[in-house]
Structure 1
């Protein structure tokens, strides 16, 4: 069986079937058909190959068959190489926005690396500054760019809209260089390592978020409301760590300086924390927040069992009663604390929660020890775990 990439609606499936059944790339034979093809879409990919039967061209056809949401063309005529300033096999991305033509020369030694080319095309098919909408959200996240620089603004405010100019000016320096790891020069082919030839690096994607539009849905993730706009945030996508300036400065130079400082590890993440409830420690289940977590979880005199949850999570809701019963059972034990923390409203610097519920046990004693609980989530198994000092006793054979 074949996996259908791209959109899984009827249009996407039909497009994929047609691409698989017929030529995956349109043959472009002269300047007129080339110009018409380039102008037919906002974005097209064209492979210029001296030999359309060669390995590089065949790899290009295979890639085109998979990337069904993009129009692909091929050319081998010498006049077309000359018309577009090329002298060697090259894949070109043509756009009606930002850079009009972006070249990806084929390494004559390594051939066409389709995985690398796919990544490059994903990145460069994005606008230099994206707007976060329902239509672009999948494109933004599927590009797999490791950092997102976000400008939150209210699009109904002309004053806030003007902040996009400085934001865009800062973006150009973080698009990434289009180079392969080994190269000689832009035209003469790629293969010989040169110190001045950097790796391709698209580190930061710049995104404008309208707090009155689709972007309103993501505000709780940042602990923000629409009234906080305009403001800037940088997100490290691998762990959802968020960074913010001490005081927002929307100039392009300030934005660039801030991003460099984050990438160099000179800025600490901004961690969300709710305010602790007044009765947080009066009930059997202690309610922790970001700013109280350390003092409770790493209390050397206590064994602390913490449930990290999300209020909307059905699995969390299903085990809520067992967690309350567990706390009731151990409420008179001075050395045991049963606690919970809403991870959608609170973040920790050295603990990243990837799923809900997540249960961690913090044993008493010196040091910052932590044990993840991965067994059955019921009252009796929880009790065995606690009574055995943070491990489950081996069952007799």
Structure 2
């Protein structure tokens, strides 16, 4: 791209907000003045290694991968193909790859990790589609004791009408930014809403998730509200999840299409088995905060038990069959335990790796669970290979540390960086 302003991508007629997501799951951003947009799209922008890669979730620098958190830079390389516009008067936005100064991918770059897993799937004739569901709690501004934006009823009409200005502007802003929203509805908790995004190519889907949360936050602030995505937003509040829908195909043929009622074909079953086998380690990447493990309890519909079943919202993996006449996603599986503390790129890359490993091994999952796992006896659980997720972040990180499958797929460097950043300090 030349330096001429006439060559600036469509929609970039003002500042450009560049965002990367680090191992702590935090969006780290730079706002680029209009006059510098062209040069930054060509050459990227330097950023300190700590501010891009070596901060904990509480913004404390840590040394990792043999690198000192206070020494050196990385390069943010904005993706010109993903530029979106934030409203009529807002800046443009784009996600960024994280690279070493010489231009090679940084080991902890989540976008690079997703691309690598997509390539590995393609080498087997496989493709994947991902769709996110984002739960958030809307509160009345920045008060010390904010009141929820609605008090129900759950999934009702009144919460939408009570927040009609916010809701309608949000959907309008999604359209303007190219966020593929399917629906917005009030959730179970007071002040809680959920946005469902259409299934897309995995990298695009992860970018959609980051952009959608940015748009939600931006619109909420304009209405004097505060959007909280945390798994436990406040004492007594309903927990917020980030559900991930995954569909797979081989040479265009869906793997989760049923061979019989409520059960996918052999490769689809193998993918489920691969994910279930890695779930103790996957949990660390799906639920990366201390409060995540308060959410991951039976009765919260968070998929706190390692099992699978058609329509089962207490199972870690819920099989979603195609509806009559087709659906937006078709037959797929829903990964329940994730929340917004995750780096979505890491989480999706790990899920794809686990599914691919299951297919490669021809793995067979245990029998589906057709009732709430809480209603099973201890002997039924033992017979079915059914067990709870890790009960703490420390336990989940230990499982991730010893996962041969995820280390081989994502690389020791990414896993070790994640462990260094996420391990509770102090």
Give the shorter-chain TM-score range.
under 0.3
TM-score by length of 1: 0.24
Higher relative contact order (CA 8 A, sep 6+): 2
Q: TM-score w.r.t. structure 2 length?
A: 0.23
Larger radius of gyration: 1
